[in-house]
Amino acid sequence: MEHPIRVGPAGWSYKDWEGTVYPPHGSKFDSLAYLASFFDTIEINSPFYRIPPPQHARSWVRRVASNRDFKFTTKVFRGFTHEKATLSDADVKAFRHYLDPLADANRLGAILLQFPWSFRNTPEARVKLAVSRCFEGFVMPNSRVASSSGAGCSNRGSRPACR
């Protein structure tokens, strides 16, 4: 199975890109649609801070419709990777619901698990890796995790297995 290398920015809504990355524009300018005309992927950063509702994902899917090869990479919620508390079933369910419109439209390329620099290959830390089972087929651990735990990345193009 072929796995293309995708190139794109980490995010699309940056004030300091106006006039440099984006052309001069008015208030109706859509930076996501604009960047999707040049790149085949963009990282969604906002879910790291707060799990977005599914309607946000549906809006993003509509806005990249002109690029049929486009796939999103989304960061996983930091509650799964950074916080000491155990995984909340409600948060896992909410994150999966956020992913549904992306997966249903075949626009979900990968899910990025970003762990803190303090993450080490310990029994306690490996419990945090269990979140990857909820998003099987789309998980892409960050490089410091991959190098310390032997984890790899895959994108089998299927829906997340943990429903």
- pLDDT tens-digit map of 119-150: 888 887 777 777 767 766 565 555 344 433 33
Does 108 reside within a domain?
Answer: yes
Ranges assigned E (strand) in the chain: 41-44, 71-75, 108-113, 139-141
**The model scores a pTM over 0.75:** yes
Q: Closest Cα to residue 102, out of 52, 148, 140?
A: 52
Higher pLDDT, 64 or 90: 64
- Per-residue pLDDT reduced to its tens digit, 32-72: 999 999 999 999 999 999 999 999 999 999 999 999 999 99
CATH number at residue 102: 3.20.20.410
Residue 2 in any domain: the answer is: no
List the beta bridge partners of residue 75: 112
3-state secondary structure of 23: coil
| Tally of domains within the chain | 1
Share of the chain above pLDDT 90, in %: 45
Residue 159 resides in a domain: no
CA count, 13 A, side-chain hemisphere, 105: 22
Judge whether 22 lies within some domain: yes
Among 98, 77, 99, 74, smallest CA distance to 88 is for 77
Is 73 a member of any domain?
Answer: yes
Q: Which residues span the domain enclosing 82?
A: 15-149
**pLDDT band for position 117 (50/70/90)?**
confident
Q: Do the domain assignments include residue 158? A: no
